[in-house]
Amino acid sequence: MSRKSASETSSIVDVEQRLQPIPEEARTASVSGQFWIWCGANIAPINWVLGALGVNLGLGLADTLIVLISGNLIGMSVFGLFVLMGQKTGVTGMVLSRAAFGRRGNYLPALIQATLAIGWCAVNTWIILDLVMALLGELGLVDPAAHNYAARIGVAALLMAIQVIISWLGYRAISAFERWTVPPTIVVLVLMSVVAWFFLDIDWSYAGPENAVLAGSERIAAMTAIMTAIGIGWGITWFTYAADYSRFVSTAMPRRRLYLASTLGQFIPVVWLGVLGATLATKNGDVDPGQLIAENYGVLAVPVLLLVLHGPIATNILNIYTFTVATQALDIKLPRRTLSAFVGVLAMVAVIFLIFQEDFAAVLDTWLVGLVAWVATWGGIMLVHYYRIERGRFDVDRLFEPVRTSRIADVNWAGYTAFFAGILATWLFMYGLIPLFRGPIATAMGGVDLSWLAGGLTSASVYAVLGPIAAAKYQRAPVPAVAKQPEVGV
């Protein structure tokens, strides 16, 4: 294969800046990049916090690990189906969503996705700040017991700039960053795990807080709540991101290889770090990431923290990138790179808010439970539309038609009916930490949380009935003679 000329390379970079399908000649023939992207995005402190969250909220170690492993096995296996959508069509998740929600009806899902990307960027940056303060405390530069508000905000601004720059450069920079930084980080995680599991006083038989061991219906309810937050719920949160990156993989790549590379790239680090966090939390029940490291690793905290800082940055460059393409799907005529800088500012505002929050476990659980309410519902609709109605044969050009085209619904009534039915079902079966997220059915069942299952099945079932009726008219629409123009310029 001959090398691409400078002009060809430039044109490929330009393609990425506009909201349009990634052509075959601009795609990669390697599947390893997908593994490293998803692996890097999940080698982050947020995932040992997720493991510690189960222990912190009252579960024993065994129950926490059951929920963590089984839930993510289910969630990640479904995640792989969304990865295949991106490879097949070459377009982002929020562009694919236009087929099910309508040309302008899709503005709501795209707006929700952009907002959630900002929130995740803020949460992950907050995790970095906690680790940095723990590191500086080990070096004697700050008092780790103090608030250190000014130092935290200053470090956050620096880290946010790094994240924005990598995302600004685009997919190839993101892929290269993950490919070169994940392997050494894995080495550090091996060291962390060996020290934790063989040299620290881990309570492997930990059954819950003293004098408060959960049993019977209370135990089941707690397990389902944690399943929603850190088990299946964690895999679900990535559904809307999947196609944004798999669209760069050549259609010549066997689907099975892409599926396995992507799902294993998610599953391995999430479960590994979740188990690490849960076992560390048995020592003191703490969910705070800085405390988990500083109190358990002592002098080893310095090299560990220096390298593990990579994880949240690797996650946030995906959040920033996905924000930009989700915002472009709102028909906002701004270049992707301009939007990268804009989201950095918005995320910094959210970071400052999190800095002043005291009960991080409650904040995180509420955030994760809220995510499931919309992603499970959206996911059920998209799976039915792509694999049952379209049967994998998307007419991609139709998704880029201008507003009020005759080839795609302006607002798809079937998609919205299924969406709101799914949201309602999710809430009815939800049992979160705050009263707003406690539905009547979940409350009547003693706190059993099946929100992700109820929302996904309800939206999928409703759309399976109504979707084909709504889609029939537009699947038969003629193709216009005049070729469309790209939506967003560089």
The total of structural domains in the chain comes to 1
Tokens of 300: 């080893």
Positive/negative CA dihedral, 313, 122, 325, 373: positive
pTM: 0.85
Domain presence at residue 385: no
Q: What CATH number corresponds to the domain at position 245?
A: 1.10.4160.10
Per-residue pLDDT at 370: 66
Domain presence at residue 382: no
Domain presence at residue 462: no
- Contact at 8 Å (CB) between 310 and 94? no
- Contact at 8 Å (CB) between 247 and 86? yes
- Residue 439 and residue 113: Cα distance in Å, rounded? 24
* Per-position pLDDT tens, the chain of length 490: 334 444 444 455 566 777 888 888 889 888 888 999 999 988 877 777 777 877 777 778 888 888 889 888 988 999 999 999 999 999 999 999 999 999 999 999 999 999 888 888 888 888 777 777 777 776 677 776 777 788 888 888 988 999 999 999 888 899 999 999 888 888 888 888 888 888 877 888 877 666 555 566 677 777 777 777 677 777 888 999 999 999 999 999 999 999 999 999 999 999 998 898 888 888 765 555 556 666 666 666 666 666 667 877 888 999 999 999 999 999 988 888 889 999 999 889 888 888 876 565 556 556 656 666 788 899 999 999 999 998 867 788 888 888 887 788 899 999 999 999 999 999 999 887 677 778 899 888 888 888 888 999 999 999 999 999 988 776 555 545 444 444 443 3
Domain presence at residue 406: no
Burial label, 429 (beta-carbon count in 10 A; 0-12, 13-18, 19+):
buried
- Contact at 8 Å (CB) between 286 and 51? no
Per-residue pLDDT at 489: 36
Domain presence at residue 474: no
Per-residue pLDDT at 128: 73
Residue-number span of the structural domain to which 81 is assigned? 29-359
Please count the other Cβ atoms lying within 10 Å of the Cβ belonging to residue 255.
Answer: 14
Domain presence at residue 321: yes
CA distances from 68 to 49, 154, 204, 375 (A): 12, 35, 16, 19
- Residue 323 and residue 345: Cα distance in Å, rounded? 13
Domain presence at residue 486: no
Domain presence at residue 431: no
Residues sharing a CB contact under 8 Å with residue 254, sequence separation 6 or more, in sequence order: none
CA distances from 374 to 46, 224, 397 (A): 21, 18, 27
